[in-house]
Structure 1
Amino acid sequence: MTEDSSTHTASEESTSETDRTPPAVAVVDAQTPGNVGTIARAMKNFGFEELLLVDPPTLDPDGEAYGFAGHAREDVLPNATELTFDELVESYHTIGCTAVTNEDDRSHIRFPYSTPADLAERLPAVEGPTALVFGREQVGLTNEELARIDEICAIPASAQYPVLNLGQAATVTLYELRTLTLSPEETQLPDLERTRAPEETVDRLYDQWGALLAEINHPVEKRDKTMRMLRRVFGRADLTTREANTLLGLLRRATERPAED
């Protein structure tokens, strides 16, 4: 009985971790349909699906929002949910995104704050409905709205000009949080795993370098130092077998050419 119970619990936990719902994306009082479309497109790029709109502009299927949305016009944008700000803060753990933060802890309206990278590390371990909240194009989220939000997120940027436009801010944030929605296998990037060339191949490469240094009369007293430098360079490069063999061929030709001349 105890064994079955613990197995069932472990299974439930595993399923829970796998089936966690990614954060929703909420846009408050966007002034232009194009920005809503841009955010929907960024959501599609990085695997987010649930779009929440508070006081949105009119989203004409033949207008700017759908024109800017790319393939998100097929699902993310038409499936967006319109709700009030009260419903948003009552139904979700809210993360307000703002460029302006307090410099210290004397006010908790805009402090403390996390960066998107901080959230990417913490949110995978948190279960429950979460919404990333973006504000208006010109003023973002008001202090009154931020006071009702659970936590604050800010994108690190130049102190001289930290304000991003609405579409940029959402795109950067969703890119940083893509690990919540996309595994490496689900992106368009090729597999980056590399297989380092066998040590004997790399040793032949170093021997060939030594032969070249001798052939070009590189100063004897400098050869050991030069070889150490080459070992460090190629050691950091993690050469593949193909790369090492290609370099070997080039070095052989370079070593043999003086004799041909």
Structure 2
Amino acid sequence: MIEDYRLDPNLAKIRIVLVETSHPGNIGAVARAMKNMGLSQLVLVNPKEYPSQVASARASSAADVLNDAKVVDSLEQALEGVQIAFGASARLRKVSWPQLDVRQTAKVALQTITADATAEVALVFGREDSGLSNAELDLCNYLSHIPSNPAYSSLNISAAVQVFAYECLMATEIKSVHSNGYRHQLATSDQLEGFYDHLYQALQDIEFLDPAKNARFMRRMRRLFNRAQLDVKEIDILRGVMSAAQRKVGLASKDDRDV
């Protein structure tokens, strides 16, 4: 089970700000998206309906994020104490704001937080129907967007928050996130050389490889398996397969006992 990312000091300093959200279900869905990715700071600017049973139902098990949400009257209040604010928008405006895509946004956000122990950042999302106004974007340091189909770039607000929150999580150094729970040990150079020697001999034993006619073959095999970055278990499996093939032709490998 993956640990509670809200305990990560970097993620705890990322503030999700929703401006004048009209549907309470979207607020609940945003809370759920945040908790999925380890974010906990939710600030609501003039929500049309909050608190709400609909929001609570959509939040599912993220009631703590929803119940701790701060409600304010203006975006200026929502951004108090923030070092950098990113205004999320599907529309790239005629006025040229500094622009970042969602992955760049997460990288800058985490770099800002890690460089200053007191820093906080905000990801600001606008209304469901019209997004953020130009005046509201003036309060942000960057215009941030999610690259998408140019013919249909609009995302539901909770989906947009989910994408930004995911990228923030992936920008952290939490090892269990990047390994996806699969802990493997890459094969050493000695283990790889043993594998290549075994492969070379096995392919001759089963009469697949004639060294006199395939001078470059093993170099190609090395390139193939080096790209795969074999781990220890994979080496064992492949050598087991080769040993089985050798036994079928009555030529047990001298390395068979080591597999």
**TM-score, normalized by length of structure 1?**
0.77
Moved more, 180-189 or 162-171: 180-189
Give 1 or 2: higher helix fraction: 1
Amino acid at match of 1:26: V
Amino acid at match of 2:151: Q
Contact 2:22 2:127 in 1 (8 A): yes
- 1:195 equivalent in alignment to 2:195: no
* CA deviation after TM superposition for structure 1 residue 44, in Å: 1.0
- 1:79 equivalent in alignment to 2:68: yes
Instruction: Give 1:150's aligned residue.
Output: 141
For 1:31-70, what aligned pairs fall within 5 Å after superposition?
31-59=22-50, 63-70=53-60
Contact 2:125 2:131 in 1 (8 A): yes
Instruction: Give 1:204's aligned residue.
Output: 194
Identity rate, percent? 29
Mapped partners of 1:151, 1:80: distance in 2: 24
**How many residues are treated as equivalent by the alignment?**
235
Secondary structure class of the residue paired with 2:85:
strand
* CA deviation after TM superposition for structure 1 residue 131, in Å: 1.8
Instruction: Give 2:89's aligned residue.
Output: 98
Segments of structure 2 that go 5 or more residues without pairing to the other structure are: 1-8, 252-259
Contact 2:110 2:168 in 1 (8 A): no
Identify if the C-alpha distance between structure 1 residues 41 and 188 changes in structure 2 by more than 3 Å, giving closer, same or farther.
Answer: farther
Contact 2:89 2:144 in 1 (8 A): yes
* CA deviation after TM superposition for structure 1 residue 223, in Å: 2.9
Segments of structure 1 that go 5 or more residues without pairing to the other structure are: 1-17
Instruction: Give 2:239's aligned residue.
Output: 248
State the superposition RMSD in angstroms.
2.8
Instruction: Give 2:204's aligned residue.
Output: 214
* CA deviation after TM superposition for structure 1 residue 81, in Å: 0.7
Deviations, residues 22-76 of structure 1 (Å, cap 9, x unaligned): 1211111112112111111121122211111112133456x32112213211x11
Secondary structure class of the residue paired with 1:119:
helix
**TM-score, normalized by length of structure 2?**
0.78
* CA deviation after TM superposition for structure 1 residue 191, in Å: 5.7
Moved more, 206-215 or 164-173: 206-215
Mapped partners of 1:163, 1:222: distance in 2: 59
Mapped partners of 2:162, 2:243: distance in 1: 50
For 1:131-170, what aligned pairs fall within 5 Å after superposition?
131-170=122-161
